[in-house]
Structure 1
Amino acid sequence: MNSPEPPTATPGPSAPTWPTQPTYSNLGKVRAHLLPSKACRPRTSGSSSTDPLISPPPLPNKTLARARSLPAHRVPKPSPTPAGQARRPLLGSRSVDESQAGDDKAGSTCLHAELLLCSSDMELGLSIHDLLRPEAVHAMLEARQLEGLRSVHALLRARFLGGRPGPCRPGHSFRLLDRSPCVESGEALYYRTARVDKEMWHVLAAKVPKPGAKEPHPWGLELQASLPAHFNVQGLCGLVPKSELPEAPWSGPVALTAEEPECTVAQWLAEAGARRPADFAWALALLLLQLSAALECLEARGAALAELRPENLLLAAPRGCAAWGPPRLLLADFGQVRPRPPEPLGAHALQLGRLLRALLGRVPLATPLTAGLERLAAQLARARPSAALTRGALQTLLWGPGAALRSRGAPLGPWLRVRRALLVLHLAERAAGGEAPGLEDWLCCEYLLEATEASVGCALDLLWG
C-alpha cells in the first residue's frame, strides 16, 4: 500500500494487444515547467485506450506561481561548466516589463562599456564615458605626470640624503683617518674621521675652529643644531671629546659634521677657469640655486648670515652621483648667523647680488644664461627679493620659460604641463639606457613639482619686468 509503484491492471480478453506493456510515469514536474498556468479545472482520469478498465495513475495536484519578472541588477551564481567549454561572463538581467521597451539603447551602451573595459583598461582610472571627453583624458595624464615626478623626486631625495649618520651616543668609538685637513675654509679646518658603532662605520668630518677666527655666535650654532636635515645645510652629529682621539692635532672637543667636504667655492672657482664659458655659467647657476635654497631656510627661521663669503661655502659630492656631475653646496658658517626680524625685503639680496657680480667677472664670453644672471644681479640690488623668489628666478633661467614666452603673453599653465611631460619622457629614455638620474635631474623635478602659474609669473616679472 505504501509502495511508490503505480497499480497495474491485468488486461482482459477483449483488451487490445500492445507490442510491449505501456508504462505510465508522473509527468507533473515536467508539465509544471512546460505548460502555462491556467485556471484550475477538475482533472479526469482517462486513457488513450478505449478500454475503461485501463487508466493511468492520477496526476498530483500542483499549484504553480508564475514569476512576474527576472531578477534586476543581480549576478546569478555560476553554474557548473562542462570540461573544455569556455564560460561566458554573466552580465546580469533587468526586469522584463513595459518600462524596458524604451531602454534598449541605453542597455546596449552599458553592455558595450562592460565588455570594452577590461582589467588593464580599468588601471587607467577612466570610464568609457571619460575616454570620450578630452578634458578628462588631459586631467588624468596631468595627474599621472605629477605623480611620476613626485615619485622620482622622493627616490632621489632618499638616495642623496640616505645613510645620514645619527647623533653620537655612548659606545661610539672614533678614529682619525688623516692627520692633515682635507679642507681649509675661512673659519675652520676639516679632518676626516671615522665613527665606529660595532661593525658599522661612518666617515664624518671633525670641524676644528681656525686659530684667530671670529668667535662664533652661540645663537647661530644652536640654530644649526636644531634644523632638520636639509640638502644644502651642514648637519651636526655631536661632539668628539679630546680623550677619544689623543693623536688628533687639535686641543679640546670639536664638532662632528655629517658631510665630508671636498673643497670650498673659492677653491672651485680657482680651478674652474679651464671650463667652457657655457658650462661654467650653467654650473655657477646650479651652485647659486642651492645657495638660495639654504638662505631660504634661514630666512624662514628669522635668521640671516652676517657675511657671505665663497671661502666659507663648502662643496661635497652627492651620494650616488657621477664624479663629473654638479657638486652639492653646503652652508656651514653658522657662527656668523644672527637673528633678524622679518621684513618684506630679502635679508640676503644685497650680498647675493655682490657675490653674483664677482662670480660673473670670471666668465670671459657672454651667453644667454650669463645675460640672465647679470639681469638677476641687477634686480637683487634694486628690488631686493627674498631668497625664495631668487631661487625661483634661477630655476626659470635654468629650465625655462624664457623671456620670449612672457613677452608674447603665452599662458604658463600649458607650458608647465608640456615641460613636465617632456621631463618624464627624458628620464624614462635615460633609464632605459642604464643612466641613473643625477643632482640636476632632482633639482629640475623639484622645480616642476613646486611651480605654479603664479610662482613662474612672479619669477619672470622679477627678471624681465
Structure 2
Amino acid sequence: DPLPPPLPKKQLQRAESLPEQGPSRHHRGDPTPWAGSIPPLHLQHEERAPSSIPPWDRPSWGSKKPLTKSQSLGEPVARSSLQKASSPSPAELTFRTVDGELGQLLQSLESPAGVCGVVLGCQAAALARLSARIQEELVGPEERQQLLEAELAGKGWAALSILDREPCCESGDAWYFPVGFTFEQTQLVFAAKVPKLGCSSLGVQSSLGTHCSIQRLIGRFTDHLPRELVLPGSPGQQSWSPSGEEPARLATHPVLQVLISLEVPYQTLAGFVKESHGLHRTSPGHYERLACLLLLQVCMGLEHLRVQSVGQGDLCLENLLLVRCPCPPRSQQSKEASLSLPRLLISSFFKVKDKQRPCSTSQEQDWTEGLAALPSPAADELNVGMLIYRILHVDISLENALGFRSNRLPEIPSLSIYSTGLKRLAVLLLHRDPCKRVSIEQARSILQVLLWGPRQELFARSKKTLALLRSWVEVKRALLLLKFAENSAGAGASPGLEEWLCCQYFKEATEHMLYQVTQALYT
C-alpha cells in the first residue's frame, strides 16, 4: 500500500517587530544641551508658525512612542516602554504638559544647572510664540490676505467705495486714496495707490512676501480715474462747482494703473520730521527714542529685501510711509498722541535716475556716479546714515556726508541718552572706506542695543565678558516675560509694535553679538 501523504507543517505566527532603538539622547548623566547656554535659534524658529490655537493654550501632545522589540503591531504600549521613551524638549513644554512627561525630563537632569538650562529653553520658546502672536495681530493672518487677493481679482473702481476725494497721503512716487470694500459682510478700508508717472514697481513688489516693514499689495487694475478724485498738481485737473454736484468743466481722465494696499498711510516720514521740530526741542528723549524705533523698522525692512534678493528704490523720507497701529484702550493711551509709535513701511522699489541734482565738483560727480552704479545693498548703508541726520533735524548733503569739503560730519547735538549713539552709528554708516562701514544687519543690532541695552554702565564695575553678557540676556529675557504676564493680569497696555520689536531682539540676541556691538558702539 502507498504511504499516506505527509501532514502539512504548522506555520508559526511571529509578532512583527521593529529594529532596536538606539541610545536615547537624554541618558542619565549626559549633559543637557540647554545647560548654561542660550537656546539654539532653530528651535525658536520652529515656534513662529501661527496657529488657530494660541500656542500657550495648546495641549502638549507628546511624540508617538516607538515600538520596542517583540512588541506586536496594535498591541497596547506597556508602562515600562513609556518610561524608556525620550523625554520632550524644553521647546515642547507648556504649563499643561502632563506630569508623566515632565517627570521623564526631570529624571534626566542631575544638577541645578541642568534645570536652569531647561527653564531658559522654555523662556526662549515662549518668547518666540509670543512674538509670532503679536506679529499676527499687527499684520493679520496670511490666509486672510490670500482670500482678499482672490476676492479683488478682476475688480475695479466699481467694487470700491471712495471715502475721500482727496488723497490721504502723497509720497514721492504715488498718491493714496482711502477706499472701502465689503468682504464677508464687513466694511474694510484699504488704500488705492495711484503711482506717479514712471514710478510703478508692481512686478517687484508683488513677490516680496509678508513683512511688517514692507508695503503689501492685494490687488491691481488699470482704469480711468473717477471724476470725483483729485490728483494735486495734475495738469487738466477739473474744477468743481460750489455745490459740488457737477464739474465746472470737462477734463481729460487718463487711464492709470491702480494698486490696492492693505495699509492706509496717513503721512510720510518727511511730513512727520517736518512737524516734529517742536517735539524734538521739548521732549528730546521721547523724540530720539522714536527716531531709533523708526530707523530700526527701516533696517529690518532692508534686511528682508536682501533675503528676497530685491533692492529698495529711492530710500528717502518722502518714500517711507507711516501707518497708525491699532489704538489701545483709552485707559492705556498716552497723554501725548504725538509720541505714539507708527508702523513704518518701505513702499518704493525703483530708482529715479533723472532727478539727480547738479554736482558742484568733479570729485563729487565721481562719487555720485559711483553711488548710483553700486548695487542697492551697498548703497543702503549710506542712505540710512543720511536718514539719521535728517530725522534729527540736522542739515546734511551728499557732499558733506562723503566728506568732499570737510573731514568730519556735521555735529549732532547731545540732547538725550540716544544722541551719542545715533551719532556714532551715522559715522559708522557713512565712513568713506566701504570696508569700514557697518552693514545694515550691524546697524539694526546697534539700534537694538541703544533702545534696550546693555548700556555702558553695565561695564562700569564688571569687566565685559561673554559670561556677563550671557547672564544679562538671560535675566532680561526672563524679566521681559514677567512684564508681559503682569500687564496681562493688570491694567497694562496690550503688546503692540514696540513690544514686538523688543521681542525680536531678545529672541535672537546672543552674547557674541552683544560683545561685537558694544565694542563698536562704546569704544
- TM-score, normalised by the number of residues in structure 1: 0.66
Once the two structures are TM-superposed, the CA of residue 357 in structure 1 deviates from its matched residue by 2.0
Range 314-323 or range 381-390, more displaced? 314-323
Distance, in Å, in 1 between the alignment partners of 2:379 and 2:172 is 22
Alignment of 1:169 with 2:153, yes or no, is: yes
C-alpha spacing 1:136/1:453, structure 2 compared with 1 (3 Å): same
Aligned to 1:24: none
1:439-450 pair list within 5 angstroms: 439-450=497-508
Once the two structures are TM-superposed, the CA of residue 463 in structure 1 deviates from its matched residue by 2.1
C-alpha spacing 1:459/1:137, structure 2 compared with 1 (3 Å): same
Q: Any idea what SS the aligned residue of 1:330 has?
A: strand
Aligned to 2:250: none
Aligned to 1:389: 442
Once the two structures are TM-superposed, the CA of residue 227 in structure 1 deviates from its matched residue by 0.8
Q: Any idea what SS the aligned residue of 1:203 has?
A: strand
Report if the CA contact (8 A) 2:208-2:308 is conserved: no
- Flag the structure with larger Rg: 1
Once the two structures are TM-superposed, the CA of residue 347 in structure 1 deviates from its matched residue by 3.2
Once the two structures are TM-superposed, the CA of residue 141 in structure 1 deviates from its matched residue by 1.1
C-alpha spacing 1:342/1:419, structure 2 compared with 1 (3 Å): farther
Of the three residues 119, 122, 127, the one matched with 1:141 is 119
Report if the CA contact (8 A) 1:353-1:378 is conserved: yes
1:5-404 pair list within 5 angstroms: 124=102, 129=107, 133-162=111-140, 165=145, 166-167=148-149, 168-170=152-154, 173-197=159-183, 199-210=185-196, 215-216=198-199, 220-242=201-223, 245=226, 247-249=228-230, 251-252=254-255, 253-275=257-279, 276-319=283-326, 321=328, 324=337, 325-336=340-351, 346-361=378-393, 365-382=414-431, 383-404=436-457
Q: Match of 1:169, as an amino acid?
A: A
Report if the CA contact (8 A) 2:277-2:393 is conserved: no
| Cα distance per residue 1:154-182 (max 9 Å; x no partner) | 11011111166432224671111100111
Q: Match of 2:297, as an amino acid?
A: Q
C-alpha spacing 1:330/1:125, structure 2 compared with 1 (3 Å): farther
Distance, in Å, in 2 between the alignment partners of 1:406 and 1:372 is 16
Distance, in Å, in 2 between the alignment partners of 1:248 and 1:454 is 55
Once the two structures are TM-superposed, the CA of residue 185 in structure 1 deviates from its matched residue by 1.6
Q: Any idea what SS the aligned residue of 2:350 has?
A: helix
Distance, in Å, in 1 between the alignment partners of 2:497 and 2:139 is 12
Q: Any idea what SS the aligned residue of 2:265 has?
A: coil
C-alpha spacing 1:394/1:135, structure 2 compared with 1 (3 Å): same
Distance, in Å, in 1 between the alignment partners of 2:303 and 2:194 is 27
| Cα distance per residue 1:229-252 (max 9 Å; x no partner) | 111011112224436956444642
| Cα distance per residue 1:353-406 (max 9 Å; x no partner) | 122123234686522211111111111112322222211111111111123446
Report if the CA contact (8 A) 1:356-1:377 is conserved: yes
Distance, in Å, in 2 between the alignment partners of 1:171 and 1:127 is 56
Once the two structures are TM-superposed, the CA of residue 198 in structure 1 deviates from its matched residue by 5.8
Report if the CA contact (8 A) 1:281-1:369 is conserved: yes
Q: Any idea what SS the aligned residue of 2:160 has?
A: strand
Once the two structures are TM-superposed, the CA of residue 195 in structure 1 deviates from its matched residue by 2.2
Distance, in Å, in 2 between the alignment partners of 1:406 and 1:222 is 50
Once the two structures are TM-superposed, the CA of residue 340 in structure 1 deviates from its matched residue by 8.4
Of the three residues 474, 497, 509, the one matched with 1:417 is 474
Q: Any idea what SS the aligned residue of 1:201 has?
A: strand
| Cα distance per residue 1:278-322 (max 9 Å; x no partner) | 000100000000011111122333443353221211100123657
Once the two structures are TM-superposed, the CA of residue 420 in structure 1 deviates from its matched residue by 0.3
Report if the CA contact (8 A) 1:159-1:319 is conserved: no
Q: Any idea what SS the aligned residue of 2:182 has?
A: strand
C-alpha spacing 1:209/1:445, structure 2 compared with 1 (3 Å): same
Count matched residues: 343
- TM-score, normalised by the number of residues in structure 2: 0.59
| Cα distance per residue 1:33-68 (max 9 Å; x no partner) | xxxxxxxxxxxxxxxxxxxxxxxxxxxxxxxxxxxx
5+ residue gaps, structure 1, are 1-90, 93-118
Report if the CA contact (8 A) 2:179-2:191 is conserved: yes
Aligned to 2:515: 457
C-alpha spacing 1:170/1:347, structure 2 compared with 1 (3 Å): same
Q: Match of 1:231, as an amino acid?
A: C
Of the three residues 425, 434, 438, the one matched with 2:491 is 434
Q: Match of 1:349, as an amino acid?
A: E
Q: Any idea what SS the aligned residue of 1:368 has?
A: coil
Distance, in Å, in 1 between the alignment partners of 2:104 and 2:110 is 10
Q: Match of 1:352, as an amino acid?
A: V
Report if the CA contact (8 A) 2:273-2:393 is conserved: no
| Cα distance per residue 1:110-131 (max 9 Å; x no partner) | xxxxxxxxx9765755666567
Report if the CA contact (8 A) 1:352-1:380 is conserved: yes
Range 172-181 or range 322-331, more displaced? 322-331
Report if the CA contact (8 A) 2:448-2:505 is conserved: yes
C-alpha spacing 1:171/1:315, structure 2 compared with 1 (3 Å): closer
